Amino acid sequence: MEYTDQMKNRVKRIEGQLRGILKMMEENKDCKDVITQLSATRTAIDRTIGVVVSSNLVECVKQAEQTGESAEELVKEAVELLVKSR
């Protein structure tokens, strides 16, 4: 699978968020602010997982259609990946 610049940029933003959280912790910022940022980072990670899985699924379904294979198993695998990531 080819990872797009959009996907890579999402991960870079998450990396920046995590560095910011670490800095907040080192500066002994308020717990509520740190938790808010951790929650935002978790949400960003969940959304990135969704983008990666859905892009891969689209690619796999297109390939299955070209070869005449059933895409049902591919969809099941994608759903399992999403469930495991939670």
For residue 8, name the pLDDT band (cuts at 50, 70, 90): very high
Question: Could you tell me if 37 and 24 are in contact, meaning their C-beta atoms sit under 8 angstroms apart?
Answer: yes
DSSP assignment letter at 71: S
Residue 46: per-residue pLDDT: 93
20-64: pLDDT as tens digits: 999 999 999 999 999 999 999 999 999 999 999 888 888 888 888
Average the pLDDT over 5-11 and give the result. Answer: 97
Which CATH homologous superfamily contains domain 5-84?
A: Metal-sensitive repressor, helix protomer (1.20.58.1000)
DSSP string for residues in 27-38:
TT--HHHHHHHH
Whether this prediction's pTM lies above 0.85 is answered by: no
